[in-house]
């Protein structure tokens, strides 16, 4: 008889956790997902009051365009994309004390005209962001694995590299604040305020502390041929489709359960202790691999003492440390 498929426990039923779970179940793994909330979706879930549906956090989604990340995932899972319409403008930003908004248009030419009108003299800054986005987006589209932890990972990374990728190296440690100063825009209050308002949505920190390479993608992804989309109905549609795929392929979703600890032996996960929110009952779910779709701080609390001594985990903790800006981190602990 063939050996049974590995057992996967996914902690957190946000979009990252549901996506990982659905893809793993589709490839034959035995998958169970646990989340402490009532409904799946995390920051992309909804609630209803008096006949109205409200999005909990995210109200727009990217990656539905051909070749986009959700487009690719839904294609692999054999799912139809949810009905959606492009957001144009992606948003309208009202700066403090101003009556006219800054409209972030989907059409790149229209957005450039808006920028020239709103922020005269800033075009070199936006040109740098556009170039970094182009190079980074192409690199990401070739599916590199970062950081590489095996020969296969390293091979994937090397295949994704191109000479143009080296253009990002001088900016790998730079922030948006550094780039503003590079173009003598550090004292432009309107531009800084606009960037702060945009980046706090994506990175939870201001332009001064947001990594430049990350910001290049976050600030450009709303323009064609990419774009932001509004799902018909609510954001819940996205997690509902992923849940359907998970169930179809034999996976399980258990809401109302809080993860207490990830147990390991010699650096390999063994089980996850969980508590049922209503009954208070605790139990252990055996696991060959664990996907933790939680914050960095929660991961540090979940890992048990033997795993904390592992060099890779120590490096993980020292690099992340107390990081209030980190959200939605997805880490894999396995063999």
The reported pLDDT for the residue numbered 182 is 97
Tokens linked to 306: 């033997």
- What angle separates helix 69-77 from helix 15-26, to the nearest 10 degrees? 40
Cβ of 157: how many Cβ atoms within 10 Å?
Answer: 17
Of the CA atoms within 13 Å of residue 305, those in its CB half-sphere come to: 0
233-238-241-243 Cα dihedral, nearest 10 degrees: -120
* Assigned domain for 88 exists: no
The reported pLDDT for the residue numbered 317 is 53
Domain extent for 270:
7-81+232-333
Separation between Cα atoms, residue 214 and residue 326, nearest integer Å: 13
Cβ of 75: how many Cβ atoms within 10 Å?
Answer: 13
Least confident of 95-99, 199-203, 205-209, 212-216: 199-203
DSSP assignment of 301-329: HHB-HHHHTSHHHHHHHHHHSS-TT--S-
Do both 195 and 239 map to the same domain? no
* Assigned domain for 197 exists: yes
Separation between Cα atoms, residue 106 and residue 227, nearest integer Å: 6
301 compared with 216, residue with greater pLDDT: 216
Residue 198 parent element (H or E):
helix 189-202
Do both 209 and 237 map to the same domain? no
- Helices and strands, counts by H and E, the chain: 12, 15
Q: What mean pLDDT value characterizes the chain? A: 89
The reported pLDDT for the residue numbered 78 is 96
Do both 47 and 117 map to the same domain? no
The reported pLDDT for the residue numbered 327 is 37
Compute the average pLDDT of residues 17-31. Answer: 97
Residue pLDDT, tens place only, 178-194: 999 999 999 999 999 99
Residue pLDDT, tens place only, 30-68: 999 999 999 999 988 888 888 888 888 888 999 999 999
* Assigned domain for 239 exists: yes
Compute the average pLDDT of residues 221-233. Answer: 93
Confidence band of 329 (pLDDT split at 50, 70, 90): very low
* Domain's final residue, options 162, 197, 226: 226
Contact between 307 and 288 under an 8 Å Cβ cutoff? The reply is: no
* Assigned domain for 2 exists: no
Mapped onto helix, strand or coil, the DSSP state of residue 289 is strand
The reported pLDDT for the residue numbered 265 is 85
Separation between Cα atoms, residue 83 and residue 23, nearest integer Å: 21
Residue pLDDT, tens place only, 75-118: 999 999 999 999 999 999 999 999 999 999 999 999 999 999 99
How far does Cα 161 stand from its chain's mean position?
22
Do both 171 and 269 map to the same domain? no
Separation between Cα atoms, residue 166 and residue 308, nearest integer Å: 35
Contact between 142 and 160 under an 8 Å Cβ cutoff? The reply is: yes
CA distances from 13 to 29, 235, 259, 260 (A): 17, 14, 12, 16
Do both 248 and 156 map to the same domain? no
Number of domains in the chain: 2
Residue of 334, 330, 312 whose CA lies nearest to 20 = 330
């Amino acid at each position: 008889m063939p050996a049974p498929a590995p057992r996967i426990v996914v902690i957190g039923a946000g979009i990252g956790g549901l996506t990982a779970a659905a893809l793993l179940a589709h490839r034959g793994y035995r998958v169970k997902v646990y989340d402490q909330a009532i409904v799946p979706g995390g920051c992309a879930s909804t609630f209803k009051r008096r006949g109205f549906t409200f999005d909990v956090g995210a109200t727009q989604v990217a990656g539905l365009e051909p070749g986009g990340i959700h487009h690719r995932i839904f294609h692999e899972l054999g799912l139809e994309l949810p009905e959606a319409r492009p957001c144009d403008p992606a948003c309208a930003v009202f700066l403090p004390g101003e009556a006219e908004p800054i409209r972030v248009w989907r059409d790149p030419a229209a957005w450039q005209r808006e920028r020239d009108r709103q922020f005269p003299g800033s075009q070199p800054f936006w040109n740098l962001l556009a170039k970094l986005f182009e190079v980074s987006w192409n690199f990401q589209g070739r599916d590199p694995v970062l950081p590489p932890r095996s020969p296969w990972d390293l091979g994937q990374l090397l295949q994704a590299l191109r000479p143009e990728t080296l253009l990002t190296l001088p900016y790998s440690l730079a922030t948006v604040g550094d780039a503003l100063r590079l173009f003598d825009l550090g004292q432009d209050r309107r531009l800084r305020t606009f960037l702060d308002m945009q980046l706090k949505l994506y990175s939870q920190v201001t332009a001064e502390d947001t990594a430049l390479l990350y910001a290049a993608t976050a600030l450009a992804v709303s323009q064609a041929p990419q774009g932001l989309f509004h799902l018909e109905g609510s954001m819940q549609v996205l997690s509902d489709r992923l849940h359907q795929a998970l169930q179809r392929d034999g996976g399980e979703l258990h809401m109302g359960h809080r993860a207490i600890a990830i147990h390991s032996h010699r650096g390999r996960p063994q089980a996850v202790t969980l508590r049922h929110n209503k009954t208070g009952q605790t139990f252990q779910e055996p696991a060959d691999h664990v996907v933790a779709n939680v914050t960095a701080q929660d991961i540090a609390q979940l890992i048990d003492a033997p795993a904390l001594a592992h060099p890779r985990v120590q490096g993980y903790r020292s690099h992340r440390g107390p990081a209030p800006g980190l959200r939605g981190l997805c880490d894999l602990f396995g063999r």
